[in-house]
């Protein structure tokens, strides 16, 4: 069976505003199986969002190839949904209108079937009773759930998430993590999740990719062997602490801390 997503010797160089060429990614190799949840960690500015945009087809790799089921990604894909750091809701449209906006933009109309699907999606993310509310009436966490519902309404095979909870307070962020796991259980997707939070990555993912400073290389590919469903109790286990401790060492002292024996890691 082919991997769902493959990065094969991928590198990306772009031209900065100063006119200088900047190498963001170098020799990136990894694959994601269908239905797998993969989190990506690394220092600020290392190229995590570039990785995301290459899979989304918003950028084209300057070296190597990004593939979905062995077909090169050459532009935005209809089978890929994106959730950004901010939900970018249209302030003049209510919640259900925001969720339906991609369908309206694509098809020029909204069918009764699409409305029913949007309400079902809002119900799944716990916002059915807020369908007629305006974005300004919602909390940050609720707005992000609208963004997730909007991405899922198109029923993409791949869900790309670019630090979707980074603007939330710590308690809301933790709650949203558990809600995302519940949504993923109900609507299984192949997920590439960018985050700065080590504990968030370990809690959510089947596999964590740890990137080096720019130009980003993969320092380690770590299989998270924690049973599902995961809960607050998962975060209290010695195994959870061991994963977070080892990843923290990799990020803060990558040249001295490559020993993650026993955690299912493969150095990149």
Is the same domain home to 20 and 120? no
Same domain, 194 and 228: yes
Q: What is the pLDDT of residue 255?
A: 52
- Residues 247, 122, single domain; the answer is no
pTM for the structure as a whole: 0.87
Let me know whether 174 and 101 are in one domain: no
CATH number, domain at 208? Answer: 3.40.50.300
Q: How many domains does the chain have?
A: 2
Per-block mean pLDDT, blocks of 10 residues, the chain (268 long): 91 89 94 96 87 93 94 91 89 95 84 91 90 94 90 91 86 88 91 94 96 92 95 95 94 57 41
The pLDDT of residue 203: 96
- The answer to whether residues 51 and 105 belong to one domain is no
Residue 207 belongs to domain spanning: 5-79+161-267
Domain presence at residue 84? no
- 132 and 96 Cβ atoms separated by less than 8 Å: yes
Same domain, 148 and 169: no
């Amino acid at each position: 069976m082919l991997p769902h997503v493959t990065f094969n010797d991928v590198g990306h160089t772009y031209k900065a505003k100063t006119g200088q060429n900047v190498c963001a990614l170098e020799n990136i190799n990894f694959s994601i199986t269908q239905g797998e949840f993969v989190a990506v960690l690394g220092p600020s500015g290392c190229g995590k969002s570039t990785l995301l945009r290459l899979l989304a087809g918003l950028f084209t790799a300057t070296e190597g190839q990004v593939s979905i089921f062995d077909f090169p990604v050459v532009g935005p894909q209809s089978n890929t949904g994106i959730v950004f750091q901010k939900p970018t809701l249209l302030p003049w449209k209510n919640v259900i209108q925001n969720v339906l906006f991609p369908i309206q933009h694509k098809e020029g109309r909204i069918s009764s079937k699409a409305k029913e699907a949007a309400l079902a999606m809002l119900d799944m993310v716990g916002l059915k009773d807020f369908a007629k509310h305006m974005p300004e009436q919602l909390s940050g966490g609720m707005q992000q759930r609208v963004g997730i519902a909007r991405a899922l309404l198109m029923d993409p095979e791949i869900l790309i998430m670019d630090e979707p909870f980074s603007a939330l307070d710590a308690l809301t962020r933790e709650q949203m993590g558990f809600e995302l796991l519940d949504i993923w259980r109900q609507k299984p997707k192949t997920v590439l999740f960018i985050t700065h939070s080590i504990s968030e990555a370990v809690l959510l993912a089947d596999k964590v990719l740890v990137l080096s400073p720019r130009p980003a290389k993969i320092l380690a590919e770590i299989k998270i062997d924690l049973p599902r469903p995961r809960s607050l109790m998962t975060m209290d286990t010695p195994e959870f602490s061991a994963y977070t401790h080892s990843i923290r060492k990799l990020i803060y002292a990558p040249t001295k801390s490559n020993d993650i024996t026993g955690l299912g890691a493969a150095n990149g």
